[in-house]
């Protein structure tokens, strides 16, 4: 009959032999064996050792539904990409120019010209815009302005600024529309003209235009009847 002492010695010897076998680096094997493989590092401690073997031995002979780790990684990457796209789906763009523009003509003059190129060239739109700027008019002079998206004026009323006596900042003008333009590139302009007889010099500078846009809107929403509204925020 085998004594308990002999049995304990046999178990310890087996454990030591197993540990030595895990520590031995094969000299004749396939390329890559012996290099750190994070998939085999079961406890994620940066080292593949007996602790990983214990985890594996405890799970030995169990069964269940296997996991394709590559598929899991691809799914996570797709989720991250989807979240990034949602961030760009609705956003606000700011356009700014400090340059001074003068007109003493009754024709429309470009005071600022900006370009927006959506990431999604076939599914996009401009929802609404805000603008404000600094202006100066001659005595008894009047200045008129309009905001254009390509060839469409988005403010549907005429607005006049008069007799500033030095540069003043306008209120914040809000122009909203549910027209879905859906273009590959947009040109946004602020135009001014001089009002009065005879026309007198009018000046604008520090032009700020904000656009709320959707970059990737569904195509089935196209064709909505356009409507415009105009608000002033003080």
Residue 77 lies in a domain: no
Q: What CATH number is attached to the domain comprising 228?
A: 2.60.120.1340
Confidence of residue 64 (pLDDT cuts 50, 70, 90): confident
189 and 136 inside one domain: yes
- Cα dihedral 149/199/234/151 (nearest 10): -10
Residue 158 lies in a domain: yes
142 and 197 inside one domain: yes
Residue 55 lies in a domain: yes
Confidence of residue 22 (pLDDT cuts 50, 70, 90): very low
**Would the pLDDT of 123 be above 50?**
yes
46 and 149 inside one domain: no
The length of the chain is 234
User: Residue 27 belongs to what domain range?
Assistant: 4-64
128 and 219 inside one domain: yes
Residue 150 lies in a domain: yes
Residue 70 lies in a domain: no
Residue 224 lies in a domain: yes
User: Of the given ranges (33-42, 62-71, 212-221), which has the lowest mean pLDDT?
Assistant: 212-221
Flag whether the pTM goes above 0.85. no
Q: How many domains, in total, are found in the chain? A: 2
Residue 34 lies in a domain: yes
Residue 69 lies in a domain: no
């Amino acid at each position: 009959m085998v004594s308990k002492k002999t049995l304990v010695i046999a178990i310890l010897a087996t454990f030591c032999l197993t540990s030595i076998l895990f520590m031995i680096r094969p000299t004749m094997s396939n390329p890559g064996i012996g290099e750190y493989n994070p998939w085999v590092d079961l406890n994620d401690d940066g080292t593949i050792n007996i602790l990983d073997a214990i985890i594996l031995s405890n799970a030995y002979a169990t069964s269940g539904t296997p996991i394709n780790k590559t598929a899991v990684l691809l799914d996570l990457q797709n989720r991250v990409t989807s979240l990034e796209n949602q961030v760009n789906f609705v956003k606000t763009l700011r356009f700014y120019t400090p340059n001074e523009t003068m007109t003493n003509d009754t024709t429309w003059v470009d005071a600022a010209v900006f370009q927006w190129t959506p990431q999604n060239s076939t599914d996009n739109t401009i929802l609404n815009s805000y603008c404000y700027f600094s202006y100066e008019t001659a005595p008894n002079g009047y200045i008129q302005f309009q905001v254009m998206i390509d060839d469409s004026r988005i403010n549907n009323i005429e607005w006049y600024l008069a007799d500033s006596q030095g540069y003043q900042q306008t209120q914040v003008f809000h122009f909203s529309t549910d027209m879905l333009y859906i273009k590959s590139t947009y040109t946004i302009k602020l135009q001014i003209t001089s009002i009065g007889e005879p026309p007198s010099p009018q000046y604008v500078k520090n032009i700020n235009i904000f656009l709320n846009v959707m970059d990737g809107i569904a195509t089935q929403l196209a064709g909505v009847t356009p409507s415009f509204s105009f608000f002033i925020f003080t």
